[in-house]
Amino acid sequence: MIQCPMPRTILIADDDPHIRQLLAFALAKAGLDTIEAEDGEAALAAVESHAPDLVVLDINMPRMDGIETCRRLRARSDLPILFLSSRDDELDRVLGIELGADDYVTKPFSPREVVARVMAILRRTAGRPPAVADAAPPLRHGRLHLDPDGWQASWADQPVPLTATEFGILRTLVTMPSKVFSRDALIDRLHGPGFAITDRTIDSHVRNLRAKFAAVGAQDVIETRAGIGYRLGVCGAR
């Protein structure tokens, strides 16, 4: 099993104590610290008191479900979120992604799969250590500016807060601005070949990106090529 090279704390929010115990054991074997919450309200309190690096969040919980918990977390932070869903309806899962979750796993799940997805999100959040000490150069295209080391995005000097997955998609497009990426190609760049995720999840992240940049006056960040995929837009450089 892949080991986490740096200390990380994962919050497991699920009303089923068996699932919490199962995931805590699997994540601990991967070198990750864990804390637990039995519902959405407890999860919000745990985020405030423990500042975890990622939340594994069940959708169907009492008192406050995972959808509302995710909405409240996203209103105040870009903390990475991995949804657990017992619902087999893809619309529920896509809704979670549109709210700002980074990924999802459907129950019943393999603990190894959850660990693998948690590690992938953490890698995207922290970035891989560079081979040399030099900092990664900033990426610019028109009015768009990305800081790969700081995982920061801005438009005409206005910060645009992005989740790790959203930043990863945008960085992929910026590094090859003339290339049209299929949805499968974007999934491979973000997660590696063979990672099971739907095309609609990528579409949801792109909608989120467009909405966030539209809020600061950017309407041309990402272009859709019908039947093919996405590429970087002109980003105000007309």
The residues near 214 (Cβ < 8 Å, ≥ 6 apart) are none
105: domain CATH number? 3.40.50.2300
Instruction: State whether 146 and 227 are in the same domain.
Output: yes
Six-digit token pair at 10? 């994962």
Instruction: State whether 91 and 155 are in the same domain.
Output: no
In a domain, 1, yes or no: no
Task: Give whole-number Cα distances, 100 to 21, 73, 162, in Å.
Answer: 26, 9, 9
Residue at which a domain ends, from 65, 100, 126 = 126
In a domain, 158, yes or no: yes
What's the average model confidence in pLDDT over 180-191? 81
Q: What is the pLDDT of residue 56?
A: 95
In a domain, 66, yes or no: yes
Residue 192 has pLDDT above 70, yes or no: no
Instruction: State whether 149 and 107 are in the same domain.
Output: no
Instruction: State whether 42 and 100 are in the same domain.
Output: yes
In a domain, 134, yes or no: no
Instruction: Calculate what percentage of the chain has a pLDDT beyond 90.
Output: 33
Residue 238 has pLDDT above 80, yes or no: no
In a domain, 75, yes or no: yes
Instruction: State whether 151 and 216 are in the same domain.
Output: yes
In a domain, 133, yes or no: no
Residue 17 has pLDDT above 90, yes or no: yes
Instruction: State whether 155 and 122 are in the same domain.
Output: no
Instruction: State whether 61 and 150 are in the same domain.
Output: no
What's the average model confidence in pLDDT over 4-24? 86
Domain hosting 177: range is: 139-232
94/131: higher pLDDT = 94
Residue at which a domain ends, from 105, 126, 147 = 126
Task: Give 10's strand partners.
Answer: 34, 54
Instruction: State whether 117 and 25 are in the same domain.
Output: yes
Instruction: State whether 15 and 114 are in the same domain.
Output: yes
The residues near 73 (Cβ < 8 Å, ≥ 6 apart) are 44, 47, 55, 79, 81, 100
Residue at which a domain ends, from 94, 126, 158 = 126
Number of domains composing the chain: 2
Condensed to tens digits (0 to 9), the pLDDT of residues 204-225 reads: 889 889 999 999 998 889 999 9
Instruction: State whether 120 and 92 are in the same domain.
Output: yes
Condensed to tens digits (0 to 9), the pLDDT of residues 127-181 reads: 544 333 345 688 899 999 998 877 889 999 899 988 878 888 899 999 888 899 9
Instruction: State whether 176 and 104 are in the same domain.
Output: no
Instruction: State whether 17 and 109 are in the same domain.
Output: yes
Residue 199 has pLDDT above 80, yes or no: no
- With contact defined as beta carbons under 8 Å apart, do 71 and 25 qualify? no
In a domain, 145, yes or no: yes
Six-digit token pair at 150? 């700081």
162: domain CATH number? 1.10.10.10
Cα distance from N-terminal residue to C-terminal residue, the chain: 49
